[in-house]
């Protein structure tokens, strides 16, 4: 179609801006508005319909920049400081959400594999939503905030590993080979070896080469080149990971962000990409909204409620139990439980891969999107309720 790309970008940006402004006007996260914008210009609602295929292609760049940003926020030192609670907590929470989600999907009539993918998609929280919630409350540097971020980092690492293994499993299934332990083990081992080589390349060579490259660019005293250099590094190394080492673009971007985040010059240069990352992340959420079928709200209200309860109650309850066992204060436990009681970008990425591969039906993907939208809206309300209740108690 003539001007299809331009029309898609314009429609996505303009509607996202309008719906994002409306969402913030009603004290709701802007992400909710971006998802609504996608629904508004998607094929499942009347009026203008943007090109879904082109939007998904743009979303690929968004995923690279989102994962690059996740890598920048990754801090090995911070994770080590909270490892005794963050590691077991994240694992237990993800397991509980996956188990409950799998059981729920099976009760709804889906098979075991679809249930696992559905449950696993509900088990990981959104980095963007958590960071913004903690920043707005001024608790980013608090004990609860640090543990919540470390907890989320562990979840992100587990999800990154899953994103590496899932395409391998899909190739085995599509090849028609008989599934057995030897084939699965050998195939995954080869992929993990390739990924390990890329990991070694980044941490042995990349952590020296990239800061040197960025310092060389900085000497040219050009803000445009600084931004372009950081973008070229993020996209270039993500492509290198995919083409040469067989890793995902997301993993390549994540490791690149990790390496740059370790050096002062790298972190400062990468921060130049924040406006561009935010702009492309908007396109990602809009593209997700385009795939949502609004009639799901009418056809599956109980299934949506069950999905929301898994995200908020099951995940929150497991977080509170873990923090109690680890003898953390009540405010730390509730900060973690509420902060992680939502889902976002990783859920969309995993669910999208499974949907495009035929492993996940559209109906379950709709539940993931609906659960994300509702949990993102409810999350700040839960924090306000907790602040009000804890404040009342403090007064008494």
Distance from chain centroid for Cα 6: 27
> How far is it, in rounded angstroms, from Cα 380 to Cα 363?
27
> How far is it, in rounded angstroms, from Cα 393 to Cα 396?
5
Q: Which of 257, 285, 2, 259 is nearest to 128 (CA)?
A: 285
Neighbours of 44 (CB within 10 A): 16
- Compute, in degrees rounded to 10, the torsion defined by CA atoms 40, 44, 50, 56: 100
Give yes or no for residue 291 having a pLDDT over 50: yes
- Provide the pLDDT for residue 396: 37
> How far is it, in rounded angstroms, from Cα 92 to Cα 71?
23
Q: What is the pLDDT of residues 194-210, one digit of tens each?
A: 778 888 888 888 878 88
Give yes or no for residue 394 having a pLDDT over 70: no
Looking at residue 49, what DSSP letter applies? -
Structure tokens at 106: 């099976």
> How far is it, in rounded angstroms, from Cα 278 to Cα 299?
34
> How far is it, in rounded angstroms, from Cα 186 to Cα 181?
8
Mean pLDDT of the region 10-18: 92
Give yes or no for residue 129 having a pLDDT over 50: yes
- Provide the pLDDT for residue 395: 38
Mean pLDDT of the region 296-324: 92
User: pLDDT-based confidence at 368, cuts 50/70/90?
Assistant: very high
> How far is it, in rounded angstroms, from Cα 381 to Cα 129?
13
Q: What angle do CA 58, 227, 344 make, to 5 degrees?
A: 40
> How far is it, in rounded angstroms, from Cα 19 to Cα 40?
10
CA gyration radius, the chain: 21
- Judged on CB neighbours under 10 Å (0-12, 13-18, 19+), 172 is middle
> How far is it, in rounded angstroms, from Cα 126 to Cα 285?
12
Neighbours of 387 (CB within 10 A): 13
- What's the whole-number average pLDDT of the chain? 83
66-276+294-360 has which fold? Na+/H+ antiporter like fold (1.20.1530)
Residue 379 half-sphere exposure, CB side, CA atoms within 13 Å?
A: 36
User: pLDDT-based confidence at 393, cuts 50/70/90?
Assistant: very low
Delimit the domains of the chain by residue range.
Answer: 66-276+294-360
- Token look-up 């993918």 returns 117
Q: Which of 345, 342, 367 is nearest to 288 (CA)?
A: 345
- Provide the pLDDT for residue 392: 47
> How far is it, in rounded angstroms, from Cα 295 to Cα 303?
13
Ranking 13-22, 209-218, 249-258 by mean pLDDT, the lowest is 249-258
Start-to-end CA distance of the chain, whole Å, equals: 66
Q: What is the pLDDT of residues 42-75, one digit of tens each?
A: 888 887 788 888 887 887 787 788 778 777 766 6
């Amino acid at each position: 179609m003539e001007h299809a790309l331009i029309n898609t970008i314009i429609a996505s940006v303009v509607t996202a801006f309008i719906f994002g402004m409306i969402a913030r006007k009603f004290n709701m996260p802007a992400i909710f508005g971006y998802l609504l914008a996608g629904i508004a210009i998607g094929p499942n609602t009347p009026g203008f319909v943007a090109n879904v295929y082109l939007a998904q292609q743009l979303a690929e760049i968004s995923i690279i920049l989102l994962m690059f940003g996740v890598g920048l926020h990754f801090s090995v030192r911070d994770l080590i400081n909270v490892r005794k609670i963050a590691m077991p907590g994240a694992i237990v929470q993800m397991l509980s959400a996956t188990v409950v989600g799998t059981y729920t999907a099976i009760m709804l009539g889906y098979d075991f594999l679809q249930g696992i993918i559905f449950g696993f998609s509900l088990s990981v929280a959104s980095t963007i939503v958590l960071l913004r919630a903690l920043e707005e409350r001024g608790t980013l540097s608090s004990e609860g905030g640090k543990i919540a971020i470390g907890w989320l980092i562990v979840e992100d690492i587990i999800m990154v590993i899953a994103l590496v293994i899932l395409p391998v499993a899909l190739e085995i299934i599509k090849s028609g080979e008989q599934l057995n332990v030897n084939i699965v083990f050998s195939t995954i081992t080869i992929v993990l070896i390739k990924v390990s080589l890329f990991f070694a390349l980044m941490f042995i060579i990349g952590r020296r080469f990239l800061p040197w490259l960025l310092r060389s660019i900085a000497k040219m005293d050009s803000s445009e080149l600084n931004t372009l250099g950081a973008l070229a590094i993020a996209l270039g190394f993500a492509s290198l990971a995919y083409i040469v080492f067989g890793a995902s673009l997301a993993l390549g971007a994540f490791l690149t962000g990790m390496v740059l985040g370790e050096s002062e010059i790298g972190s400062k240069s990468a921060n130049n990409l924040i406006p561009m990352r935010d702009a492309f992340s908007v396109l990602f959420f809009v593209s997700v909204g385009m795939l949502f079928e609004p009639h799901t709200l009418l056809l599956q209200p109980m299934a949506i409620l069950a999905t929301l309860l898994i995200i908020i109650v099951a995940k929150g309850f497991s977080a509170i139990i873990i923090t109690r066992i680890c003898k953390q204060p009540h405010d730390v436990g509730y900060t973690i439980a509420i902060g992680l009681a939502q889902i976002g970008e990783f859920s969309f990425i995993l669910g999208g891969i499974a949907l495009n591969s035929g492993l996940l039906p559209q109906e379950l993907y709709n539940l993931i999107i609906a659960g994300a939208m509702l949990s993102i809206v409810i999350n700040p309300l839960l924090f306000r309720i907790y602040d009000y209740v804890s404040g009342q108690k403090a007064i008494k």
